[in-house]
Amino acid sequence: MLILGLESSCDETAAALVTGDRRVLAHRLAGQEEAHRPYGGVVPEIAARAHVEALEPLIEAALADSGVSLADIDAVAATAGPGLIGGVMVGLVTGKAIAHAVGKPLIAVNHLEGHALSPRLADPDLVFPYLLLLVSGGHCQLLLVEGVNRYRRLATTIDDAAGEAFDKTAKVLGLGFPGGPAVERAAQMGDPTAVPLPRPLFRSPEPHFSFAGLKAAVARIAGDYRPEDVAASFQAAVVDCLIDRTARAIDRAPGATALVVAGGVAANNAVRSALSSLADAHGLRFVAPPLWLCTDNAAMIAWAGAERFAAGLLDPLDTPARARWPLDPTAEAVRGAGV
């Protein structure tokens, strides 16, 4: 089975070819950092236009890398949401056009499902159900992944995502955009105990997250300390919150075979090693995808497509693009955040 995957939900345009037996034949990616840098964040209209320009050449390049042709694919998997609607439409419409042209089915992939299943692309031994910390630029959730298309949300953020707090911290420290990797680099040269920072919702009974107060505290005190110390103290606070909240959720996921992390913030080494220790302490296996598979890419979309294809989950060509699309539609909004 061979799946073409397309991703365009935020500021990464990507195309990949992945097989049902976990071979990544090609994966191509074009970031838009330069286009957005002057604004210190992603500008939706600029992003959508950049996706239009980048996507077709990336698909051509991925096909050339892998030596296959469109006639060889079994299905086209495209991100159909959630994300910036203009960008999502670019990838989804392109996917529909290719599916129609080559007479193969379309698979409309939830970007979060791409992140959620990405650890299974890297690790064939990872079986359902597993406890997933999905921590990215727009989301911070704990999910029980029971199977393909079966996600039970145990917790979410009541305000900001952890990745957003990393990006904001980088911005106030003048470390540039995107922020996560820059904060992690600066933190290596700083003292994590130098700056007193809050740990919102620490030890609260429900495993939900909150990062708005931490983000605001960083903005308030940033000028009073060395940037490296702020970065290190901020990262330590995020790690403490993620570990405390995840520990709560472990108690609510008794059947889980592993503790798994995915999403852009999963690329952070302090986060990975703290979660690994937490898993050890609970006798759980720890699984984290390789760094390139944590941040947005199309291999995870192709792989989610492969998993859905194998489960017979195909989508009609009039499937709409969705700006919002919760993985667990039964989960209730938390303090109106609904994320």
86 binds, among Mg ion, Fe ion, ligand ATP, none (CB under 5 to 8 A by kind): none
3-state secondary structure of 65: helix
Cα–Cα dist 208/157, whole Å: 6
3-state secondary structure of 17: strand
Binding mask 81-100 for ligand ATP (x = CB under 6 A): --x-----------------
Is residue 180 at the binding interface for ligand ATP, with CB under 6 A as the rule? yes
> Which residue, 86 or 178, has its beta carbon nearer to ligand ATP?
178
The answer to whether the CB of 179 falls within 8 A of the CB of 169 is: yes
5 binds, among Fe ion, ligand ATP, Mg ion, none (CB under 5 to 8 A by kind): none
Tell me which of 2, 9, 11, 138 binds Mg ion, using CB under 5 A: 11
> Which residue, 46 or 68, has its beta carbon nearer to Mg ion?
46
Of 336, 333, 155, 164, the closest CA to residue 247 belongs to 155
The answer to whether the CB of 215 falls within 8 A of the CB of 168 is: yes
Tell me which of 136, 156, 235, 246 binds Fe ion, using CB under 5 A: 136
Instruction: Provide, rounded to whole angstroms, the least separation between the CB of residue 333 and ligand ATP.
Output: 17
Cα–Cα dist 325/110, whole Å: 7
Give, in degrees to the nearest 5, the angle at Cα 311 between 305 and 315.
55
Query: How close are the terminal C-alpha atoms of the chain, in Å?
Result: 34
160 binds, among Mg ion, ligand ATP, Fe ion, none (CB under 5 to 8 A by kind): none
Tell me which of 7, 160, 296, 315 binds Fe ion, using CB under 5 A: 296
Instruction: Provide, rounded to whole angstroms, the least separation between the CB of residue 72 and Mg ion.
Output: 30
138 is in an annotated binding site: yes
Stretch (H or E) spanning 155: strand 150-155
Instruction: Provide, rounded to whole angstroms, the least separation between the CB of residue 314 and ligand ATP.
Output: 24
Is residue 315 at the binding interface for ligand ATP, with CB under 6 A as the rule? no
